[in-house]
Structure 1
Amino acid sequence: MDVALPDACPPEAAPPPAALPVVAPFRAHRPRTPRLWSLLCVAGWLALWWLATALQWVPPLFLPAPEAALNALAQAWRGDIQGGDALWVHAQWSCLRVFGAFALAVLTAVPVGIAMGVNRWAQAVFDPLLEFYRPLPPLAYLPLVVIWLGIDEAAKWLLIYLACFAPMALAARAGTRNASAEQVNALRSLGATRWQLLRHAIVPAALPDILVGLRIAMGFAWTTLVAAEMVAATQGLGQMVLNASNFLRTDIVVMGIFVIGTIALLLDALLRRLERWLLPWHGR
């Protein structure tokens, strides 16, 4: 007798695939400090400075009060300090030295750095010299510069120029490595010459690092300014600070430090704005 077997249980239907989550487009992480918090921190440091001087935690000879620095600023602007020159005259001479030496370094260091990045013979010639003098402080070779060029403006310009040259050249050399092999090979396949490779592939790829090198070099230029103006200078912000230190005018010293720092800060902001204008695609 035939026995009817029950039908096999139908397999359960597979669940529908879960929808993939929507992912936001990738953007490079570039942390930005809120400007309000930065301003509050600056105000906090200024308040701490005022409190330390008002409660006489530090003697005025070592740390003058903020109002003393402001009075020194007004005196320097009128020229009522040692030397007799107004503050804007000192600032004019310092900016002339820094900008002149910085411009000469840009015109020479950037091509040398690019040449070191694309030519092994150029690297063999310039790399040992750069690596030798780059760690030396400017005061180490200041006497030699004075012996060579005397105490005129040329010695001051050369000292600032040497401080700017090394970071610019090294940044330009490092930037040449950003050009991808695909870009270079594509241009070669189209018959590009070496100059066209430099113009359309290597230099644009190196430009972000070059601009960073310019910012670093600008900081070194202002750092070397005081040492450069030690060489028998009669005008300049560094000379003004050194002259005030001889008379224990720490209020003028602090004021000069703030003036130099403010000018350097404005120039760095200008270079960052130039970077955003020339490289709107960088980091995006």
Structure 2
Amino acid sequence: MKKRVGRGADGSRVRGLGVRLLSLGVFVALWWAVTAAELVDAQFLPGPHAVWDAFVRANSWHELAPGVPREVRGEQNYFLWEHLVASLQRIGIGAGAAVLLGPPVGFVLGSSRLVSAIVEPYLNFLRMLPPLGYIGLLIVWFGIGDTSKNWLLFLAAFPPIVIATMSGVQGVSADRINAARSLGANRRQVITRVLLPATLPEVIGGIRVAVGFAWTTVVAAELNNGIPGIGGLAYLAGQQLNTPLTVACIIVIGLTALALDAVIKQVGVLAVPWKGLA
């Protein structure tokens, strides 16, 4: 019986993958057809081949200009993958700090209604601010180097994690806590055996949202002195009307976002295997 269930699950995954690949193929075919028929100016919508050429050019040595023997390295003297790594490093520092600090802060706020009432409005205020609204202030405080970018990504990721953790702590039933205490559990055991396991799914969900939001903020973080950086390269390519390179950067940014989300989702499955079980 278990084997049949496993085979059914495997078959469902294969069908799901097939549907996604088919959808992608149809999308690319429509994209190619629209651009080949010149229904849209190539300056606004380059074809798949032009975008692929821009991607290859950004990852290889090439001539500075036609007829000029001097070769240059990728784009802005960095390969595209180096731009991506630079952005991921900034995400790792900024969002990573939020992942480390957010859950403990959220746990403290969720455990104290008084502290929560005082601090939560400020967290929501910060969460609602668009990154472009305060990137200028961070540059004034920390300069145009990576420090201001790391702070921006931290401030983008920190509030969602704290609020999700607070929600998880406050959502734990008082009956479960009282039941643990009636069985002789002390405060430490209540925290480690009841509150933390019950809150962990909310924390993972908050981290997933926060990292995604921080990644969407990477372009804003790299508007100033963002080279190397995939967001900075996309912005610069747009300013130079290099639409194929801009689209290539957008595709890389989107695929990286999907990969990050998939990794965090898998970590959540491993960390909270009981989630969703009756």
Query: Same fold, TM exceeding 0.5?
Result: yes
1:146-187 CA-to-partner distances (Å, cap 9, x unmatched) read 111111211000001111011111111111134223321122
Which stretch of the first structure deviates more once superposed, 61-70 or 112-121? 112-121
What is the CA distance between 1:56 and its match in structure 2?
0.9
Residues in 2 aligned to 1:126 and 1:49: alpha-carbon distance in whole angstroms: 49
The 8 Å contact of residues 82 and 243 in structure 1, kept in 2 or not, is answered as no
Q: Which runs of 5+ in 2 are unaligned?
A: 1-11, 63-73
Structure 2 counterpart of 1:163: 156
The residue aligned with 2:36 is: 54
Q: SS of 1:58's equivalent?
A: coil
Q: Contact between 1:79 and 1:87, CA under 8 Å: does it hold in 2?
A: no
1:27 is matched with: none
Q: 2:198 is matched by which residue type in structure 1?
A: A
After superposition, give the CA deviation of every residue in 1:79-132 in whole Å (9 maximum; x if it has no partner): 545412111211111010011111100111111111121112321332021111
Q: 1:60: how far off?
A: 0.5
1:93 aligns with 2:75: no
Partner of 1:67: 49
- Deviation of 1:42 after TM superposition, in Å, equals 1.9
Partner of 1:187: 180
- Cα offset, 1:68, TM superposition: 0.7
* SS of structure 2 residue aligned to 1:62: coil
- TM-score between the two structures when normalised by the length of structure 2: 0.86
Q: Which residue of 2 aligns with 1:107?
A: 100
| Separation in 1, partners of 2:44, 2:219 | 20
- Specify the code of the residue in structure 2 equivalent to 1:60: A
**Partners of 1:69 and 1:153 in 2: how far apart?**
29
Quote the Cα distance in structure 1 between the aligned partners of 2:267 and 2:251: 24
Number of residue pairs the alignment of both structures matches: 254
Give TM-score scaled by structure 1 length.
Answer: 0.85
Question: How far apart are the structure 2 equivalents of 1:204 and 1:82?
Answer: 47
Q: Are 2:197 and 1:204 aligned?
A: yes
In structure 1, give the amino acid aligned to 2:249: G
Is the radius of gyration larger for structure 1 or structure 2? 1
State the alpha-carbon separation in 2 of the partners of residues 73 and 123 from structure 1: 48
Partner Cα distance (1:173, 1:72) in 2:
45
Please identify, of 35-44 and 126-135, the stretch whose mean Cα deviation from structure 2 is larger.
35-44
In the TM superposition, 1:101-250 aligns within 5 A as 101-250=94-243
What is the root-mean-square deviation of aligned Cα atoms in Å? 1.7
1:48 partner SS: helix
Amino acid of the structure 2 residue aligned with 1:151: I
| Alpha carbons 2:169, 2:195 under 8 Å: kept | yes
| 2:242 paired with 1:260 | no
Are the aligned partners of 2:226 and 2:233 in contact in 1 as well (CA < 8 Å)? no
Gaps of 5+ in 1: 1-30
Counterpart Cα distance in 1 of 2:61 and 2:123: 41
Contact 2:139-2:148 at 8 Å conserved across structures = yes
CA distance in 1 between partners of 2:188 and 2:141 (Å): 37
Q: Which residue of 2 aligns with 1:278?
A: 271
Letter in 1 for 2:163: L
Per the TM alignment, residue 206 of structure 1 is displaced from its structure 2 partner at its CA by 1.0
Taking only the aligned residue pairs, the percentage that are identical comes to 39
Q: Which stretch has the larger CA shift, 88-97 or 170-179?
A: 170-179
Match of 1:37 in 2: 19
Q: Which has the higher helix share?
A: 2
